[in-house]
Amino acid sequence: MDNTEWTNGFWTGQLWLAYELSGQSHYREAAEAQVGEFSHRIFNRINVDHHDLGFLYSLSCVAAYKLTGSVKARTAAVEAAQVLLTRFLPKAGIIQAWGNLNDPAEAGRMIIDCNLNLPLLYWASEETGDTAFREAANLHIEQARRFIVRPDASTFHTFYMDPVTGAPRHGSTHQGYSDDSCWARGQAWGISGFPLVYRYRRDPRLIETSAQLANYFLNRLPDDLVCCWDLIFTGAPYERDSSAAAIAACGLIELGKNLPLGDPDQQSYQSAAVHILNSLINNYASQPDEPGAGLIKHGVYHMPKGIGVNEYCLWGDYFYLEALTRLTRVWEPYW
Ligand code: GLY
């Protein structure tokens, strides 16, 4: 696969996890071999005109730097953070998700998925000492809390801010069922992204928000605990999104870890994650003799457009492996 998609980092991330879990050098060599491609991509600006640089570079180059000390990987990841920072709209206090910054259709649009792109900015701030990365991320996560999260702790997939005045405009969906429904993967990006940002910005409100989102999510699960693709649906005949379940499991573990010691919910969120993972293992994981190309079946990429429905997906597999790693060893996130 050419390194031109938003998803390439999930494969590299799986290789780094496989290396950490097994200690086998061929996984490390395969992951290291991709650092050059990621470096080429960012320095040549190949399809990097969007906010997904955190997904791409945290799991490839930041991971490489953390695990091997690669200077080439660090340089590429800092460059990616710099490109991501160019999408920051100061008046609106957000990172614009998609489109050329002059495109009126995408102007001022933030999306919940961006929570996972912010750790790259915090990491770059720590590495370089340049506080501009951190300040932009601080403002964005606050705007996401205020406007993407609804009063009932569900989330809009996307929310438009006025880039000139900074005023909030309106929420809308892109991959969900409707503007006022709750796209399951978006909710999972929220559950996991707020505590990942908390690792860098010790603001307890981020943990409170993640917990509220988690409660909304957990209250809308089908019997086998693997969510439908939109949380407006709670069971058959609607498609499941196993990738959202895997992302949420990682988020529940990170959330539980960051609750104060002795908080009774610490155990509840950890246990919810274990139950979701058990269901993924027993009901969704591919079997060794099964033809296919992935770890967990029944993911959904984009239901409204009918793309990637009921398929394996790279991000679902990455978070499935990350969740298993988190439950089986002490693990330092690449985020
Ligand atoms: N971040 C894109 C997606 O979740 O489909």
Segment among 23-27, 192-196, 292-296 with least mean pLDDT: 292-296
- Which of 310, 331, 309 shows the shortest CA–CA distance to 322? 331
Phi, psi of 250 (to 5 degrees): -60, -45
Query: What is the number of domains present in the chain?
Result: 2
Residue 79 CA, ligand 1 centroid: distance in Å: 22
Q: Are residues 197 and 280 in the same domain?
A: yes
Q: In the predicted model, what is the mean pLDDT of the chain? A: 97
For residue 92, give every residue at least 6 positions away whose Cβ sits within 8 Å of its Cβ, in sequence order, or none.
108, 110, 143, 161, 162, 163, 166
| 61 located within any domain | yes
| 334 located within any domain | no
Does this model's pTM top 0.95?
yes
Domain holding 273, by residue range, is 87-328
Q: Are residues 214 and 246 in the same domain?
A: yes
| 111 located within any domain | yes
| 237 located within any domain | yes
Q: Are residues 119 and 223 in the same domain?
A: yes
pLDDT at 3: 96
Answer for the pair 140, 114: CB distance below 8 angstroms, yes or no: yes
Q: Are residues 277 and 226 in the same domain?
A: yes
What is the 3-class SS of 128-177, one letter each residue? Answer: HCCHHHHHHHHHHHHHHHHHHECCCCCECCEEEECCCCCCEEEEECCCCC
User: Which of 85, 114, 130 marks a domain boundary?
Assistant: 85
Mean per-residue pLDDT, 289-305: 93
Q: Are residues 111 and 52 in the same domain?
A: no
Mean per-residue pLDDT, 59-84: 98
| 189 located within any domain | yes
pLDDT digits (tens, 9 = 90+) for 205-224: 999 999 999 999 999 999 99
Q: Are residues 20 and 76 in the same domain?
A: yes
% residues pLDDT > 90 (the chain):
96
We report the CATH number of the domain holding residue 257 as: 1.50.10.10
Q: Are residues 38 and 124 in the same domain?
A: no
Answer for the pair 180, 209: CB distance below 8 angstroms, yes or no: no
| 335 located within any domain | no
- Distance, in Å, from the CA atom of 157 to the CA atom of 296, rounded to the nearest integer, reads 24
- Please give the angle made by the CA atoms of 300, 305 and 311, to the nearest 5 degrees: 25
Mean per-residue pLDDT, 59-76: 98
User: Which of 85, 105, 140 marks a domain boundary?
Assistant: 85
Closest C-alpha to ligand 1, atom 2: 113
Answer for the pair 72, 39: CB distance below 8 angstroms, yes or no: yes
CA atoms within 13 A on the CB side of 40: 8
For residue 237, give every residue at least 6 positions away whose Cβ sits within 8 Å of its Cβ, in sequence order, or none.
none
Query: pLDDT band at residue 29, thresholds of 50, 70 and 90?
Result: very high
- Which of 217, 174, 163 shows the shortest CA–CA distance to 194? 217
| 333 located within any domain | no
Q: Are residues 154 and 27 in the same domain?
A: no
Residue 289 has pLDDT above 90, yes or no: no
Q: Is 230 in the pocket of ligand 1 (CB under 6 A)?
A: no
- Distance, in Å, from the CA atom of 21 to the CA atom of 24, rounded to the nearest integer, reads 8
Mean per-residue pLDDT, 66-71: 98
Which tokens is 76 given? Answer: 């590429």
Instruction: Report the nearest atom of ligand 1 relative to the CA of 55.
Output: 1
Closest C-alpha to ligand 1, atom 5: 301
Answer for the pair 46, 40: CB distance below 8 angstroms, yes or no: yes
Residue of 315, 318, 319 to mutate, ligand 1, most atoms within 8 A of C-beta? 315
| 249 located within any domain | yes
pLDDT at 291: 79
Which tokens is 220 given? Answer: 């809308």
Instruction: Report the nearest atom of ligand 1 relative to the CA of 243.
Output: 4
Which amino acid does the sequence have at 128? T
Residue 298: exposure state from Cβ atoms within 10 A (0-12, 13-18, ≥19): buried
% residues pLDDT > 70 (the chain):
100
Residue of 113, 302, 314 to mutate, ligand 1, most atoms within 8 A of C-beta? 113
pLDDT digits (tens, 9 = 90+) for 171-189: 999 999 999 999 999 999 9
Q: Are residues 48 and 109 in the same domain?
A: no
Cis upstream peptide for 264 (omega within 30°): no
Q: Are residues 23 and 108 in the same domain?
A: no
pLDDT at 1: 75
Q: Are residues 91 and 81 in the same domain?
A: no
Q: Are residues 121 and 75 in the same domain?
A: no
User: Which of 36, 69, 85 marks a domain boundary?
Assistant: 85
pLDDT at 292: 75
